[in-house]
């Protein structure tokens, strides 16, 4: 093939079509991200980020969710949660927060339970979000542990020898022996 010769990669197609690969070997494509966060993908970030960032994100989401739902339970009225024994407003909020934690994890000790449709609906929504959050955490943890990584140890020593009487030679790098 001569320089500049067309190798017919999508060249002879219908009118209006362009080549996928230019004659110089570059691609004739452009990625367009019309997403809200551009090229950010949460699952990919959770799989590839450091362990510190991963656990900060998981614990941060857990606390944010429980504080948010604790505030919603508190604002809709702590009297809609039967079993709250706090006398001050701070005690009532803390009870709402811990009820949110128990609902999010689906523990449900039974000391506090919702009364009425609004509180029960909020608890059902939070329990669903908690289940989905645990599914996401389980999936990303599995993805992080099963993610293949190359861990190759190189050596200064090399063996070049025939392999099983084949004319092709094999190369072996030894890490524990010294060749003289």
| pLDDT tens digits along 15-57 | 556 677 777 888 877 766 666 666 778 888 898 899 999 999 9
Q: Which is higher by pLDDT, 32 or 81?
A: 81
173, pLDDT greater than 50: no
66, pLDDT greater than 90: yes
Q: Kindly indicate the confidence band of residue 130, based on its pLDDT and cuts at 50, 70 and 90.
A: very high
Choose which CATH entry (2.60.120.200, 3.40.50.1820, 3.40.50.10420, 1.10.287.70) describes domain 42-146: 1.10.287.70
Cα of 163 vs its chain's centroid, Å: 44
Residue 104 CA to residue 113 CA, distance in Å, equals 13
Read off the pLDDT of each residue in 141-167 and give the average, rounded to a whole number: 71
Question: Which two tokens mark 124?
Answer: 């059902």
In 3D, which of 60, 63, 58 has the Cα closest to residue 101?
63
At residue 25, the 3 state secondary structure works out as coil
3-state helix, strand, coil in the chain (%, to 5): 45, 10, 45
108, pLDDT greater than 60: yes
Helix (H) / strand (E) containing 117: helix 117-146
User: 159 near 153, Cβ under 8 Å?
Assistant: no
Read off the pLDDT of each residue in 151-169 and give the average, rounded to a whole number: 64
93, pLDDT greater than 80: yes
User: 73 near 96, Cβ under 8 Å?
Assistant: yes
Of 28-32, 112-116, 138-142, 159-163, the one with minimum mean pLDDT is: 159-163
What's the residue count for the chain?
180
In 3D, which of 54, 24, 16, 11 has the Cα closest to residue 140?
54
> Looking at residue 77, what is its pLDDT?
84
Residue 90 CA to residue 95 CA, distance in Å, equals 9
Residue 16 CA to residue 87 CA, distance in Å, equals 75
Q: Domain segments of the chain: what residues?
A: 1-30, 42-146
Whether the full predicted model's pTM is greater than 0.85, yes or no, is no
């Amino acid at each position: 093939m001569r320089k500049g010769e067309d190798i017919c990669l999508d060249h002879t197609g219908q009118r209006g079509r362009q080549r996928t690969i230019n004659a110089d070997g570059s691609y004739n494509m452009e990625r367009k991200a019309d997403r809200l966060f551009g090229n950010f993908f949460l699952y990919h970030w959770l799989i590839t980020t450091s362990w510190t960032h991963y656990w900060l994100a998981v614990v941060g989401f857990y606390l944010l969710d429980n504080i948010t739902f604790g505030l919603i339970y508190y604002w809709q009225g702590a009297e809609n949660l039967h079993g709250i024994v706090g006398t001050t407003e701070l005690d009532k909020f803390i009870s709402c927060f811990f009820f949110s934690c128990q609902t999010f994890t689906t523990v449900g000790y039974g000391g506090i339970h919702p009364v009425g449709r609004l509180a029960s609906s909020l608890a059902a929504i939070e329990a669903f979000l908690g289940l989905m959050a645990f599914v996401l955490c389980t999936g990303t943890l599995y993805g992080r542990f099963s993610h293949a990584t190359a861990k190759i140890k190189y050596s200064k020593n090399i063996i070049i020898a025939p392999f099983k009487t084949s004319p092709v030679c094999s190369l072996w790098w030894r890490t524990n022996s010294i060749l003289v």
